[in-house]
Structure 1
Amino acid sequence: MSSEDLNSIKNETSKLKAPEKNWGNPIEFLMTCIGFSVGLGNVWRFPFLCFKNGGSAFVIAFAIMLFTIGLPLFFLEITIAQYSKFGPINVWKVVPIFRGLGIVSLLVATFISIYYNVLICWSVIYLISSFLPKLPWTDCNFEWNDEKCCVPSKTDVLNSTLQIGFCSKDTESPAKQYFNNYVLSLSDDIGNFTGVNWKLAVSLLACWLLVFLSLSKGVQSLGKVSYITAIFPYIMIIALIIRGVTLEGAMKGIKYYILNINTEKLKNLETWTDAASQVYFILGIAQGGLYTLGRYNNFNYNHQKTSIFIAILDGITGLLAGLAIFSVLGYMSTRTGIEVADLAVGGPGLSFIVYPEALSLMPFPWIWCIFFFLMMITIGFGSILSLTECVLDSITEALKTKINIHGKETLYRFGICMIFYIVAFPMATHSSLYIQNLIDSYLSGYPFVLFAFLEAFGLCWIYGIGNIKKDLKLMLGVEPNYYWIVCFAIVPVITFGIFIITIISNTEVTLNNYHYPGWAHAIGWIIVVIVLCPVPIFFAISIKNSVGKHGLPKNWKSLKLHFQPSEDWKPANECIEVFPMIKLNTENGKDNEAFYA
């Protein structure tokens, strides 16, 4: 074979070349997936949903959703990325008419990265405050407290004008005032920015710089950082559980959390939609991160075992986090006389108001506060690093095809992180909580459930179970068992049902008792439209390219092509296996034509 023929083959196969960077070892991939999937949603969202939806009844619904839709979709996302070595954008060459889903996942990852880091910067402020001689959320004598401040466990003079031994509904705890009046300096309306909150601005900048440093070398640096972000939170959770269950009244909280079994809740559709949305959120489905993580695996890596392990670990982590939180809430209820049902709140309030207040009642409270907020920060970074790497990796991949960025990739990554900081800057104003909650509420609704359905429909029914079986046989050496086959067959139906129920049960987005103005809801819907619009746009482009003058298909073959994998959708190992054999045969002076025959 001539050198010209070899160069021609190399040019063709270079299109399929696997990413130059790979995980240092399989453990790095496992740790990064754990850090990505185990996030803040496990800490505050799962325990509250469990309490809200009938205790163990919700665990049953969650487990069913986890193993019927969550695990199969998690497995499929890693499968197609590992098979093709494509990122979120190019991976949908598997079903070209759905290529808009790649852009959707990238936009979702971008929005989540922007607002997720704001939560981490709140935790940084709390961590710094935990080192002070006196925890600032334990008393009403600080400058940010007002006449509404009340400490329910004390009977002494709480301020200069009021002496009470209990707190009415019109009063506020020191922890609530510390969060709202000091950390956030929260205004009374989303439109009332009233300037920059410099505490948040500086903390947020520090967090984005840490993200950049952790991702400066891509998956190589991400894989090393993941050892900390994946392991350290479990050390903290176990420490908090051991301390929590030994406190007086701990069983009172645990009873409310998990021992309360309300089977009637299983008849409520809201329980199932809550379980499904929690599965989507904590496993990272529809967020693009799994495509990025999976593409850097070796072609024959057994990601089946990893997927099962992470899904089970994710569910257990939610249960453990709830056990740590509700045992301490039971102790707080015993000390203050406030019922656990009134203490259990969803969202940031549980982590930044109720739990710090509960920890402050424990012996050596500053130690436990330091542990808790270190856990919050490491859990948060574990998720945001993978999400941001998804965005950075996709942008870098796109830029490489247009301009030469060799040697400048670090600079590009720094620039993009700073752009994200600038975009997130409105959440460093006095409307921070309103904006963060608005984006989170609208983003975790329709985009997630619609993406999950289209992904399941596209991969399981259009690309087909047969092709998936062949791909897995090529990668793993064995075909998927009956569990996977049954799940692949039914997951499009279940995800479509979740999508329809979500539309029917749509409720107004609020923040506690605050109702957003109409223009704020309009912005929320604009975010939803921006995230989802690539799907119909690319669908329309595909159809347009297949129709003639009268709106009819030019031919059914041209239309059918958009539902079949692209020509360059091939296993990534082809380019890995061909070159060594060519080199060997060339060195031995053998005729390579026999090899290709």
Structure 2
Amino acid sequence: MNSINPKKVESENSKSTEKTWGSPIEFLMTCVGFSVGLGNVWRFPFLCFKNGGSAFVIAFGIMLFLVGLPLFFLEITIAQYSKFSPINVWKVVPIFRGLGIVSLLIATFISIYYNVLICYSLIYLISSFFPTLPWTTCDSEWNNEKCCIPSDITVINTSLSIGRCSKFTETPAKQYFYNYVLTLSDDIGNFTGVNWKLALSLLICWFLVFLSLSKGVKSLGKVSYITAIFPYVMIFALIIRGVTLEGAIIGIEYYILNINTDKLLTLETWTDAASQVYFILGVAQGGLYTLGRYNDFNYNHQKTSIFIAILDAVTGLLAGLAIFSVLGYMSTKTGINVPDLAVGGPGLSFIVYPEALSLMPFPWIWCIFFFMMMITIGFGSILSLSECVLDSITEVLKGKIDIHGKETFYRFLICMIFYLIAFPMTTHSGLYIQNLIDGYVSGYPFIIFGFLEALGLCWIYGINNLKRDIKLMLGKNLSYYWIVCFAIVPVSTFSVFLISAISSKQLTLNDYVYPAWSHGIGWLIVIIVLSPLPIFFTISIRKTYLRLGRFNWRDYREYLKPDDEWKPAKKGDKVEHFKMEQVKNEAGVDNEGFIA
């Protein structure tokens, strides 16, 4: 294998695909759009503030380069190497083949609720064009007697009240979000009807998803230039404006200049760091399998993986700088302390930040910029996730029925089905439903998937097999960094699972406590998502048993080795050389992995 010097060649017959990226830069832009999502904007800054400022950055950096980056690199590797879809890519470790279906289910659930968040931003963007921003006054029909505008009142007591505004009153921004945008009920079981502006906004968002993905990766690659680049233009514009505001340094001090190293000794900091890494890199969601399979066989995805990981970390830091500089300004104007303003999740993007922007000169301009950024960042992620699902479903349909010339129609049909599934989230209890699905889908399914993925590829398939396959693609040996990471990432991901299980808390939404029956639904979703694991494990064991005609633990290699169809998606003499090496491995002449 040492003489391999790969060059670009065609992909292989049946498991290959004629679809490819228009250029390597399209793949890079799509990966940027996929990985850089809403989690960078509203989750990373809050977690950084909550977990000791720069101390969290240290924990995040460690988890990023020891867990997140190796998994990111591995997912693209096996997809690019085999050209298989998420459904078939786990032929590399057949007993874990259920992971392919799990990744599609995760991608489906995330796509469904993620687009609901984007439709919130669309409503805010439209409202930003009004002469008076509707979340700045208490004179609208959705306001009630609790409405109070802190910036209009002289500060009397910052701990309990600001003039006549107390901790028992509500800002117009909060009432706009809950009473107008959501028309939120008081309980998840209290649907009380449909919020038609949300329903229409969500329909528009799913139609835009369809238009962006109507031609598969060919249209996705073109759209990615906008979804990857535009958010950075907006972030830098908000940073430049934010740091020049009065009191900006107050917010920045709370955000990143505050260093509490004691936080590094708490489990919560490390679980927050790990969950953030999983979420923002897009691992364990299936999207990377779909993106990677359309690369050229010899594309240097190693450089792309490192670039994306670093960019994700930098983006989170930049987004936090933009947000907390404006929160410092808001604190100066209203007298409310920054810790009382800093909240995570949708509350930051749809309540606190719009209110902060409304205090700036020409507020509607900055609101337009901000919500355009939110929409493009959101679409960058959902398009890759949705393409993962659409590509896999249409591939399955091609094997069952003739959809030649009708693929665009089927893509439209699937998008509309997803809209109907998401429709309950446009009711008056929609936020409770969205938060419930988010909380359970992005919990145990993520961390269990990450552990099994690391175990299957690094320890069962084997590090040396990975080294050989990557050398066939890239023409060079892996560095010691990757080898060390591959050796320890199963342990790291299992540790994340244990810590998460030990420190798990009951899901809530602000002060709302979910009823027991809703948690039952949440756990049912988790069971549905993870159910392919035992099903396909059993099928794989039975298939091998029938082939061998016996069951003996001394034959464990037969149960763990790759499927016969697992091979590089490449023509030429090098593949024949690869097959000869593989025969030697199976015969025990040259064992390439921990388990051949």
The reply on whether 1:242 has 2:267 as its aligned counterpart is no
* Aligned match of 1:397: 395
CA distance in 2, matches of 1:304, 1:448: 23
TM-fit CA distance, 1:170: 0.6
Partner of 2:199: 201
Q: Does the C-alpha gap of structure 1 residues 343 and 560 become closer, same or farther in structure 2, counting only changes over 3 Å?
A: same
Aligned match of 1:585: none
Q: How many Å separate the matches in 1 of 2:106 and 2:244?
A: 41
The residue that corresponds to 1:4 in the other structure is none
Check whether the contact 1:153–1:165 (CA below 8 A) recurs between aligned residues.
no
Instruction: Report the CA distance shift for 1:491/1:135 in structure 2 as closer, same or farther (over 3 A).
Output: same
SS at 1:366 equivalent = helix
- Counterpart-to-counterpart distance in 2, 1:319 and 1:553: 57
In structure 2, the residue matched to 1:570 is 567
Whole-angstrom distance in 2 between the partners of 1:32 and 1:386: 7
Instruction: Say which of 116, 120, 124 aligns to 1:122.
Output: 120
- The amino acid across from 2:277 in the alignment is V
Where does residue 415 of structure 1 map in the other structure? 413
Alpha-carbon displacement from aligned partner over 1:346-369 (angstroms, at most 9, x marks no partner): 110000000000000000000000
Aligned residues of 2:42 and 2:349 also touching (Cα < 8 A): yes
Shift of 1:87: 1.1
Q: 1:44 to 1:143 in 2, by over 3 A?
A: same
Q: Deviations over 1:8-49 (max 9, x none)?
A: xxxxx6334x21100000000000000000000000000010
> 1:93 corresponds to which residue?
91
Q: Which residue of 2 aligns with 1:592?
A: none
Q: Which one-letter code corresponds to 1:507 in the other structure?
A: K
TM-score (norm 2): 0.92
How many Å apart are 1:400 and its aligned residue? Answer: 1.2
1:176 maps to 2:174? yes
Could you report, residue by residue, the CA deviation over 1:227-274 in whole angstroms, capped at 9, with x for unpaired residues? 000000000000000000000000000000000000000000110111
Q: Determine helix, strand or coil for the equivalent of 1:330.
A: helix
Partner of 2:148, secondary structure, is: coil
Q: Identify the residue that residue 588 of structure 2 maps to in structure 1.
A: none
**2: CA distance, partners of 1:509 / 1:556:** 42
In structure 1, distance between residues paired with 2:277 and 2:573: 36
Q: What is the letter of the counterpart of residue 572 of structure 1?
A: A
* Cα deviation, residue 560, structure 1: 2.9
Shift of 1:557: 7.2
Identity of aligned residues (%): 78
Residue 298 of structure 1 pairs with residue 279 of structure 2: no
**AA partner of residue 339 (structure 1):** N
CA contact (8 A) 1:82 1:295 kept: yes
Q: In the alignment, is the contact (CA less than 8 A) between 1:81 and 1:292 conserved in 2?
A: yes
Give matches, 1:237-386, under 5 Å: 237-386=235-384
Q: State the distance in 2 between where 1:428 and 1:332 align.
A: 31
Partner of 1:588: none
Aligned counterpart for 1:223 among listed residues 221, 224, 227 = 221
C-alpha distance in structure 2 between counterparts of 1:540 and 1:51, whole Å: 46
Structure 2 counterpart of 1:388, which letter?
A: S
What code does the residue aligned with 2:570 have? N
Q: Which residue of 2 aligns with 1:583?
A: none
| Alpha-carbon distance, 1:559 to partner | 4.7
Deviations 1:437-482 (A, max 9, x none): 1110111110001100000000000000000000111000001100
Query: Cα offset for 1:553?
Result: 5.1
State the partner residue of 1:15.
Answer: 14
Distance in 2 separating the partners of 1:559 and 1:577: 29
Q: Shift in Å at residue 545 of structure 1?
A: 4.0
Letter in 2 for 1:203: S
SS of equivalent residue, structure 2 residue 14: helix
When the two chains are superposed, the root-mean-square deviation of aligned CA atoms in Å is 1.8
Provide the secondary structure at the position in 2 that maps to 1:560: helix
> Does residue 514 of structure 1 match 2:526?
no
The letter of the residue matching 1:434 is: Y
What letter corresponds to residue 211 of structure 1 in structure 2? V
**In 1, Cα distance between the equivalents of 2:45 and 2:526?**
27
The one-letter code sitting in structure 1 at the alignment partner of 2:375 is I
Quick check: 1:139 aligned with 2:137? Answer: yes
Post-superposition Cα deviations, 1:533-554, rounded to whole Å, max 9, x if no partner, equal 1111211222344558xxx953
- 8 Å CA contact retained: 1:114, 1:420: yes
The 1-side partners of 2:297 and 2:470 are apart by 10
Equivalent residue number for residue 472 of structure 1: 470
- CA gap 1:397/1:562 in 2 versus in 1, 3 angstroms: farther
Q: How many angstroms does 1:558 deviate by?
A: 6.0
Name the amino acid aligned to 1:520: S
CA distance in 2, matches of 1:472, 1:442: 35
Q: Please say which of residues 428-437 and 228-237 is displaced more in the overlay.
A: 428-437
Distance 1:547 1:22 in 2: 38
Q: Which residue of 2 aligns with 1:560?
A: 557
Matched, 1:72 2:76: no
Deviations 1:56-102 (A, max 9, x none): 00000000000001111000000000000011110000000000000
**What amino acid maps onto 1:566 in structure 2?**
D
Q: Using the alignment, how far apart are the partners of 1:521 and 1:537 within structure 2?
A: 24
SS in 1 for 2:150: coil
Contact 1:14/1:575 (<8 A) preserved: no
Q: Secondary structure at the match of 1:196?
A: coil
SS in 1 for 2:166: coil
Shift of 1:556: 4.8
* Worse overlay, 556-565 or 506-515: 556-565
Q: Which amino acid aligns with 1:495?
A: T
Note closer, same or farther for the CA distance 1:482–1:578 as it changes in structure 2 (3 Å cut).
closer
**C-alpha displacement at 1:403, in angstroms?**
1.3
1:189 aligns with 2:187: yes
* Whole-angstrom CA distance in 1 between matches of 2:574 and 2:417: 40
Q: Is the 8 A contact 1:546 1:555 kept in 2?
A: no
For 1:176 and 1:197, the matched residues in 2 are separated by: 18
CA distance in 2, matches of 1:515, 1:344: 21
Q: Which residue of 2 aligns with 1:9?
A: none
Cα distance change on mapping 1:553 and 1:509 into 2, 3 Å: farther
Distance 2:168 2:492 in 1: 45
CA apart distance, 1:569:
0.5
| TM alignment of 1:576-587, pairs within 5 A | none
SS of structure 2 residue aligned to 1:137: coil
Q: Which stretch of the first structure deviates more once superposed, 562-571 or 169-178?
A: 562-571
Question: Partner residue of 1:5?
Answer: none
Residue pair 1:55, 1:257 contacting (<8 A) in 2 also = yes
TM-score (norm 1): 0.91
Instruction: Give the structure 2 partner of residue 589 of structure 1.
Output: none
Alpha-carbon separation, structure 2, partners of 1:545 and 1:252: 63
CA contact (8 A) 1:191 1:431 kept: yes
CA distance in 2, matches of 1:362, 1:297: 45
Conservation of the 8 A alpha-carbon contact between 2:267 and 2:503? no
Q: Distance in 1 between matches of 2:218 and 2:559?
A: 36
Q: Which structure 2 residue ranges, 5 or more long, are not aligned?
A: 1-11, 155-160, 577-596
Equivalent position SS for 1:327: helix
State the Cα distance separating 1:398 from its structure 2 match. 0.9
Name structure 1 gaps, 5 residues minimum: 1-12, 157-162, 580-597
- Change over 3 Å in CA distance of 1:294–1:546 after alignment to 2: closer
Deviation of the 1:204 alpha carbon: 0.2
Partners in 1 of 2:13 and 2:78 — Cα distance? 19
2:522 corresponds to which of 515, 521, 524: 524
Q: CA deviation at 1:578?
A: 8.9
The whole-number CA distance in structure 2 between the counterparts of 1:227 and 1:146 is 44
Q: CA deviation at 1:333?
A: 0.4
**Aligned match of 2:450:** 452
- Assess if the C-alpha contact under 8 Å between 1:546 and 1:559 holds in 2: no
Shift of 1:555: 4.0
